[in-house]
Amino acid sequence: MVGLYLHIPFCRRKCIYCDFYSGKGAAQELQGYPGLLIKHLERVAGQGRWQRPFDSIYFGGGTPSLLSPQSIDAILQAIGRYYSLASDIEISLEANPGTVTIDSLTGYRSAGINRLSLGLQSCNDQRLKDLGRLHNRRQGLQSVAWARQAGFANISLDLMFALPGQSREDLEEELQTYLDLAPEHFSCYGLTAEPGTPLHASIASGAMSLPDEDQYADSFMLLHDRLNAAGYTHYEIANYARDGFDCRHNIGYWERLPYLGIGAGAHSFLDDGWGSRWDIAADLPGYRQALQTGTEPMTCLETFDRESALRETIYLALRTRRGVADDELRQRFGCTLADRFPEAIEACGQSLENEAGRWSLAPSGWLLYDHLVQNFL
């Protein structure tokens, strides 16, 4: 399985919690960006390195829905010219509710987008305002209705929890609103204060506060229990899906499969040898100049050896309910988890489960993921 990621680094306004590379961008920059992506796609294709068919394409950001349907169509047409595509390819687009209309969503669907990830985050007007989101509850709900009307049968909704002032009852009410929308997929993220963000500064100054660890854990398990009861499988720490609707593209990340990243701020992973990770600087002017002058915009961040590849394989796999199987480790690395990490297994205790040679963290163990996974690094 091979993926293609395209980074769209534009936002009308940056949310207070976001540390991804994005900027407001002038209209001229936004209009010229698809041409840069197409130029880069053509150049990489000419290098002959990406011969296998892409199984997934993902437009991420930023706010990809700031690009017109015509621009998305032109990019996808270029991909089809330069690369092979799987017949059942998954093509995802991230969209913010305040940037879409029934016409734009219909256009995206006609262009070939078959999976829509809507960044609702919340259906509470005050919390949306506090988070710095541009849309309101009405626009969020309308965007889902429009997406269905446009023909999307695979919709993912973002839901943030552990928000300032959010009670258990608030989250239950919010979740019911989401469930009534009947999406195929949920991405549920606990709000975190990343250094350098306005949210981090507000918390440091005492102007805002986040729920404590017990409240966070209670919210996490509430979502787990309610969504499982509603027929969604908790297949990765932050992700739930109905049968057949797991995000194929993201699974590729967690299973350490190759993917090509195009656009300013994008990353790539090559499965040559033990693997290598590549980066395009989060610098739009520099990216533009590199493409105009024929300079290579990608630089190698890390080349893995057997040991580092093994540790990253475990690190990523334990994010998922599927986990990691001893048979797979033995085939790829010549060892089992117990052979190589007996002390780490003991340190994880009952949080790490073993079913017929497949190791995975229990949902309650995912709450301690950052701590537990350190035993394997």
pTM (predicted TM-score): 0.93
Q: What pLDDT, on a 0 to 100 scale, did the predictor assign at position 333?
A: 96
Ranking 49-53, 183-187, 192-196 by mean pLDDT, the lowest is 192-196
Q: Report the C-alpha gap between 115 and 102 in whole angstroms.
A: 16
Per-residue model confidence as pLDDT tens digits over 286-334: 999 999 999 999 999 999 999 999 999 999 999 999 999 999 999 999 9
Q: Which tokens hold the place of 121?
A: 């985050």
Which of 91, 146, 155, 150 lies closest to 119 in space, CA to CA?
155
Q: What pLDDT, on a 0 to 100 scale, did the predictor assign at position 16?
A: 61
Per-residue model confidence as pLDDT tens digits over 152-177: 999 999 999 988 888 999 999 999 99
**HSE, side-chain direction, 13 A CA sphere, residue 139:** 17
Write the CATH number of the domain with boundaries 307-376.
Answer: 1.10.10.920
Write the CATH number of the domain with boundaries 3-253.
Answer: 3.20.20.70
**DSSP per residue, 254-289:** HTT--EEEESTT-EEEE-STT-EEEEE-S-HHHHHH
**DSSP per residue, 84-116:** -EEEEEEEEEEE-GGG--HHHHHHHHHHT--EE
Domain spans in the chain, listed from the N-terminal domain onward: 3-253, 307-376
Q: Which tokens hold the place of 307?
A: 């040991």
Neighbours of 297 (CB within 10 A): 22
Q: What pLDDT, on a 0 to 100 scale, did the predictor assign at position 320?
A: 97
